[in-house]
Amino acid sequence: MDLDLLLQLVKNGVVLGLLYGLFAYGLSLIMAATGIFHLAHGLALVATAYSFWWLFAVAGLGAVVATVLSLAVGGVVGVGVELLVYRPLRRAGAGHMAQLVASLSVLTLGQSLLELGFGSDAKAVPPTAFLDWTVAVGPLVIRSWDLLVLAASVVVFVALYVLQTRTPVGLSFRAVGDNAVRAETLGIRIQRTYLWVFLVGSVVAAMPGVLLAVQTPTRPSMGFELLVMAVIALVIGGVGSMPGALLGGIVIGLVESVAAFRLPTEWAHLVLFALLFVFLVARPHGLTRATVRHA
């Protein structure tokens, strides 16, 4: 019986880790290309979750249409922060600390506005026949949501790999992140690249927003909560690396889930932050050696 429970917790941890990995890689992509610690990344997720809830549960749109429109909202949030906050700060010669404070302010203000507009109570999407089923595979109980998370993760990570290795836009992300001044001398339009980075990174962050909205009640604070997990995932996995973000996400998903096997639930975060401390001291570059290089 204990073994069956452990296997179930491992499965839950992997699924949760895939969500963390998706969100973390969207943040990593932006950080690696721009050098900005983009705390407002959490706003793209929570705005997407609220958009999906409203479009699907209130407006009555189909799941596919609601998903597409919600992902667009996440992308618009990211691009809007770049155009209205970061770009003016760069023109004014603001340093990284000013950008960090501005990003935190945007996240806090955005969450407050969502709470003001939708209320502080959690918003739940009603169950649908498509998502309301499970199947037993040996001792494991597989939910339709588990398969949805797995499928979305595979599609997004494959699409991102193709984008960054086979397209001029994706290749410009790496060039700007390595050395923005040199990239500009090679004819890469830096400001346009930043727009693409924020659009792609925010849409990637929006995907977990939709996935969480269909499974758990949406709350204004969920963006910040996922942001904390994403930062831990990047410290463990390595900033700027797709495998690092995925691996870091799965590690913390497993730790958070499996810790409940022998410890009280409230101890899970203690174990997680203890692991974070170990990596900061012993392996600060993470499990991979990708780092943010921005000049």
* Structure confidence at residue 129 (pLDDT): 53
Q: How far apart are CA 96 and CA 180, in angstroms?
A: 15
Amino acid letter for position 282 = A
Contact of 58 with 189, CB cutoff 8 Å: no
Q: Which two tokens stand for residue 60?
A: 């009555």
* Structure confidence at residue 86 (pLDDT): 96
* Structure confidence at residue 81 (pLDDT): 96
**Which tops the pLDDT comparison, 23 or 281?**
23
* Percentage of the chain lying above the pLDDT 90 cut: 48
Q: How far is CA 2 from the centre of its chain?
A: 32
Q: How far apart are CA 7 and CA 177, in angstroms?
A: 40
Q: Which two tokens stand for residue 148?
A: 């949805």
The arithmetic mean of pLDDT across residues 281-295, rounded, is 65
Q: Which two tokens stand for residue 236?
A: 């463990």
Q: Which two tokens stand for residue 292?
A: 């943010």
Which of 42-51, 232-241, 284-293 shows the lowest mean pLDDT across its residues?
A: 284-293
Q: How far apart are CA 190 and CA 204, in angstroms?
A: 21
Contact of 148 with 22, CB cutoff 8 Å: no
Q: How far apart are CA 7 and CA 215, in angstroms?
A: 21
Residue 179 in this model has a pLDDT that exceeds 90? no
Residue 270 in this model has a pLDDT that exceeds 50? yes
Residue 49 in this model has a pLDDT that exceeds 50? yes
Mean pLDDT of the chain, nearest integer: 87
Phi, psi of 218 (to 5 degrees): -85, 130
Q: What is the DSSP letter of 260?
A: G
C-alpha dist (Å) from residue 100 to 40, 71, 85, 97, 268:
9, 25, 11, 5, 28
Residue 30 in this model has a pLDDT that exceeds 80? yes
The arithmetic mean of pLDDT across residues 53-67, rounded, is 92
Q: How far is CA 272 from the centre of its chain?
A: 18
Contact of 82 with 194, CB cutoff 8 Å: yes
* Structure confidence at residue 283 (pLDDT): 83
Q: State pLDDT tens for residues 214-261.
A: 988 999 999 998 999 999 998 888 877 778 888 999 999 998 888 877
Report which of 245, 48, 235 is spatially closest to residue 157, judged by C-alpha positions. 245
* Percentage of the chain lying above the pLDDT 70 cut: 95
Contact of 72 with 200, CB cutoff 8 Å: no
The arithmetic mean of pLDDT across residues 283-289, rounded, is 76
pTM value is: 0.89
Q: State pLDDT tens for residues 70-104.
A: 999 999 999 999 999 999 999 999 888 999 999 99
Q: Angle 253-49-79 (CA atoms, 0-180°, nearest 5)?
A: 100
Q: How far apart are CA 274 and CA 63, in angstroms?
A: 40
- Which residue(s) pair with 218 in the sheet? 123
